[in-house]
Amino acid sequence: MNKNICVFASSCNYLDESYYPVAAELGKLLAKNGFNMVYGGSSLGLMWACAEQVQEYGGKIFGVMPEKLYNIGVSTEACVDLTVTPCMRTRKAKMDELSHGVIALPGGFGTLEELSEMIVQKQLGYNNKPIVILNTNGFYNKLIEFFDVIIKEKFANHKLSSNLYYVAQTPKDTIEYLLNYDYSAKSEVSCSSIYKR
């Protein structure tokens, strides 16, 4: 059974041109390595640059979009299945439900929120999904530095935080991590262990 990878990404068409080929390359490699894609269902931005290539190379794309965005006509009919949710909160829950792993491409506040929630879910032991931050053009450098500060200043347990996410520099690096990840491993994290130093 092919695994579904949730991709969080910008839906903007006005970014620097260098971001789109990387998103497209990721989509191509996802499909060629047997992964399907769960994403926001948009026909715009890095979301679509990635999803279009997943479909082009034989993968399936599953869209999840809140009703408010669906009603302004930014969805695509290319999705094998498009789920329309009442709000952003239910959208995130559905994307989590459908996916076996997560990749964050460059994005705005929505992508940051989605990534942060998935990291917390893993930190608390609700899942053991791979979480990859694809650091195109060093986009996430400052965020990764901030994550390091959170751990250094003990706002997160360093013993748990070291395996919460993986920072990839290229789509190829991302795929290799996903292919080698132990999806069958059960999370041994408990809420009580988070507070032990």
Q: What is the pTM of this model?
A: 0.93
What CATH number is attached to the domain comprising 145? 3.40.50.450
Both tokens assigned to 75: 């969805």
- How many domains would you assign to the chain? 1
**DSSP classification of residue 56:** H
Give the count of beta carbons closer than 10 Å to the beta carbon of residue 125. 16
For residue 4, list its beta bridge partners: 36
Residues 37/59, Cβ–Cβ less than 8 Å: yes
Give the count of beta carbons closer than 10 Å to the beta carbon of residue 38. 28
pLDDT tens, residue by residue, 83-101 = 999 999 999 999 999 999 9
The pLDDT, as a whole number, for residue 1 is 73
Q: Which of 5-14, 77-86, 185-194 has the lowest mean pLDDT?
A: 185-194
pLDDT > 50? residue 38? yes
- Please report which confidence band the pLDDT of residue 197 belongs to, taking 50, 70 and 90 as the band edges: very low
Residue 104 sits in which domain range?
A: 3-194
The pLDDT, as a whole number, for residue 174 is 98
Mean pLDDT of 107-121: 96
Both tokens assigned to 46: 């890095």
The pLDDT, as a whole number, for residue 75 is 80
Residues 65/91, Cβ–Cβ less than 8 Å: yes
Average pLDDT, the chain: 92
pLDDT tens, residue by residue, 143-185 = 999 999 999 999 988 777 778 999 999 999 999 999 999 998 8
The pLDDT, as a whole number, for residue 57 is 97
Question: Is the CA virtual torsion 50, 56, 57, 58 positive or negative?
Answer: positive
Give the count of beta carbons closer than 10 Å to the beta carbon of residue 154. 9
Phi, psi of 4 (to 5 degrees): -95, 125
Identity of residue 51: A
Query: From CA 32, how far away is CA 30, in angstroms rounded?
Result: 6
Residues 40/64, Cβ–Cβ less than 8 Å: yes
